[in-house]
Amino acid sequence: MYIRPPKFIRRLFPSLIWSMPESDRVYLTFDDGPTPGVTEWILDQLAEYDAKATFFCLGKNAEQYPHLYRMIVDAGHAIGNHTYSHQKGWGMSLERYLEDVDFANDILHTDLFRPPYARIKPSQAHRISERYNIVMWDVLSRDYSRLISPRQCLHNVTRHVRGGSIVVFHDSVKSFRNLRYALPRTLQYLQKQGLECSVIEL
């Protein structure tokens, strides 16, 4: 898996948002939550550095843990749609995929969307972009991978991040081994670089 998306993929999906305009801001994002025991920890880390982030939530998790969803919103972070049930667009019809996305949005109420696994067909991207801003990334931490160390996870971010970057972490139990090492050190690094962590607003 690439840390930065290859240029040919960006050219294949030019309407998708891969990064924000270069500035003194960075855009941390967290996929797959909210997750008990992990979401609260992430929120505490972000608060310690006065950092804001965008949480691409699964509709089913926000429905199951409404108090965690409310904690994210109340802390001033942004919400994105990550489908209701973490669907891979490649394996679904256009109609079923749109139904899953819209079902999630009945709970999440956002105009931001990120496809799970980055697996989305051009036809799906075209239709979804009529109603949502599709937000991808230019730095993938790979915190979910058991094949990398927590130190490598941190290096994946600090080596590639720059002003305007959209960085992907995951709000999940699977990612927590790497996340609990990498996130606070990422926040320290960004602060030293004079980069502010902001929500995605489009």
Q: What's the rounded Cα separation, in Å, for the pair 175 and 159?
A: 20
Q: What's the rounded Cα separation, in Å, for the pair 152 and 60?
A: 31
Q: Residues 6 or more apart from 44 whose CB is under 8 A from it?
A: none
Catalytic site includes residue 170: yes
Q: Which residue has the tokens 């972000």?
A: 46
- Of the residues 77, 138, 170, 171, only one is catalytic, namely 170
Catalytic site includes residue 102: no
b/e per residue 116-138 (b: at least 16 CB within 10 A): bebebbeebbebbeeebbbbbbb
Helix (H) or strand (E) holding 197: strand 196-197
- Of the residues 31, 32, 138, 171, only one is catalytic, namely 31
Q: What's the rounded Cα separation, in Å, for the pair 58 and 84?
A: 5
Catalytic residue list: 31, 170
